[in-house]
Amino acid sequence: MTQNPLLVPIDELIDYAAIQPSDIEPAITALIDKARAAVDRAADPALPATWEAIVDALDDDAEPLWRAWSVAGHLNAVVDTPALREAYNQCLPKVTEFSTWIGLHKGLYAQYKRLRENPAFASWPATRQRIVELALRDFRLSGVELEGEAREEYARLSEQQAQASQRFSENVLDALDKWTLHIEDGNRLEGLPDDVRAAAAARARDAGLDGWVLNLKMPCYLPVMQYARDRELRETLYRAYGTLASEHGEAALDNSPLIEQLLALRAREAQLLGYGDFAALRLQTRMARTADEVLGFLRDLAAKAKPHAQRDLAELREFAQNEYGMTALQPWDLPFYAERLRESRYDYSEDEVKQYFTEPRVLDGLFQVAEKLFDVTMRRCQVQAWHPDVKAFEVLSRDEGVVGHLLVDLYARQGKQGGAWVDSERNRRRVGDHLQRPVVYLTCNFTPPQDGKPALLTHDDVITLFHESGHALHALLSRVDDPGASAFASVEWDAIELPSQFMENFCWEWPVVQALSAHVDTGEPLPRALYDKLLAARNFQSGMQMVRQIEFSLFDMAIHNQAAGLSIAQVLHTLDDIRREVAVVFPPEWHRFPHNFSHLFAGGYGAGYYSYKWAEVLSSDAYAAFEEAAAAHPERDTLDAETGRRFRDEILAVGGARPAAESFRAFRGRDPSLDALLRHSGMTAGRD
């Protein structure tokens, strides 16, 4: 009998290509049964109150379940099929019920309290002390102290939230995949980059059609908005994207009731656990302590950014009117004329720059940066992956050998959720002399290669890749041997973006850009003159970009800082109020941004979207240490190995073994300052 690929031993690599949808349910069911028995054994009060008897024993039998479920979820996100979706959704209630059952397990909670009360606890390694303290906190936040009907209601809420979030995600993916626009008149595509037209022509051929097929995936949508001279075409795509998964489309895919349901469920969960609202509940596990602290931070940032955003928009309107006679810019005009203004002011286009950033060269350049900063190398290896596009790498450290595996999936395709993200199949763990190494997924949605040439990345794509690499390195370069303190398990949510946003900065450094670039036809690196233009434009419209992120963050906090759920009308009204406070661009009344906001409703960022800006303060200040090292040593640049080693040792390697604030202070020698973020954003005097 063929072994189920999801049931291979935890220290073996999974054969993704061999996994069938029919493998998922039997594997998950068997692993839940095994893990449930392990929980009951660990909860036996006759056990000695030791790490080995309780925590290690539990990890031994629970980790294979979470590894298999991570794989199933990953496949559901990157190669979605009806059969795979059905198998995943069949298991989702079982996994949710099991996870909730653990959180409500009074016997296991009592065991962790026994660990905390063990006289030997004070002499345990600090990391293990922290894991126990965090586990006790998480038990309380999982309702373990609830009784009777409240306890049963909490379990129902957990299952309903998991189901609603999954359905929200599916609706967005299905609405995105179903929408296409068949173009037969090539004149309507005037202005589009060649590779975008080629991809559209390939989609048409695949569908048995003449001409071109456009869709709403970012490699098609963004270039249309930036380059298509046909204003009606831009409006068509803008309207389609802006009403995705809403009442303006297919009724079965309307996320309105799911938004209402999720907000009501979250508010009720918070109430059950003794908190006034969901934001207060969520902030129990963050660096920020209260909603008022978050709101104050965001509004302070908005006050600094909004004048710059107003200036950005005024300049754009003036340019469009003077150069093109456009007197009333609509939202679908803004990206188009912004790109024309960029070309006019800085004498380059994103499409021109894109010719120099081929995916193989960029990936190689990224790995060179990681090697210089953190003394690690990436070596191609063979893994039976879920799609032919996936590239697999062994990650090697000079002092430790192979420290993990990185699986990279870069191209957009049908059945793959949009966006970019990193997740892990398994964490680093040491048991005795055996070291289990992490396996990490890095996923993006770039334009695939066209006409036999390598894929071309915009500079924004390059930044996205570097961003996600920071998350990946956070997991791969961990020296934390207990998975309960791994980066993704226990770093505060509002600090988890520090390494990712930090890595973005290197995309602007001349030595790095040289290593990243090679013209798709000539192989020449990006010319210095073109780089200088790119750098000069770094903060082009940065004010508008910043207030947009603040708008999203304030909206998120506002809808979750409520004692009860909201109707969809109230949600949209709240968004309008936030826009009146901080925005400079106002979409049409029919726009339905929340319905496609998967970060909030399907991605774990509910009451946490502010984390991007919060962590950007940390990441900008951390990067300033590299700038200071370069300034102090003219023979060096920001790829400073000594500072990189300290960043690896104090930030990446420690994961969640201590509070993020302590890790930042250990690296920087002080608390974070807002100054570097404002300087990097061009909002103060000094280096842009």
3-state class of 181 per DSSP? Answer: strand
416 — phi, psi (to 5°)?
Answer: -120, 130
- The pair of three-digit structure tokens given for residue 241, joined into one six-digit string: 């994207």
Question: Is 509 considered catalytic here?
Answer: no
The sheet carrying 439-446 orders its strands as 376-381, 391-397, 401-411, 439-446, 421-426
Exposure string (b/e) for 628-667, b if CB count within 10 Å is 16 or more?
ebbeeeeeebbbbeebbebbbbbbbbbbbbbebeebbeeb
Residue reference for tokens 């609603």 = 164
Q: What is the rounded end-to-end Cα distance, in angstroms, of the chain?
A: 63
- Tokens coding 510: 């001349």
- Whole-angstrom distance, CA of residue 532 vs CA of residue 101: 57
CA separation for the pair 320, 604 (Å, rounded) = 39
> CA distances (Å), 621 to each of 36, 324, 625, in order?
45, 41, 7
596/31 Cα distance (integer angstroms): 34
DSSP-assigned letter for residue 76: H
Among 159, 339, 425, 468, the active-site one is 468
DSSP tag of 17: G
Burial 62-81 (b: 16+ CB within 10 A, else e): bbbbbbbbbbbbbbbbbbbe
Do 278 and 270 touch, CB atoms closer than 8 A? yes
C-alpha span between 326 and 320 (Å, rounded): 5
The burial of 432, by beta-carbon neighbours within 10 Å (0-12 exposed, 13-18 middle, 19 or more buried), is given as exposed
Tracing tokens 């930030």 back to the chain, one arrives at: 651
Distance CA 433, CA 422 (A): 29
Tokens of 681: 């954003």
Give catalytic residue positions. Answer: 468
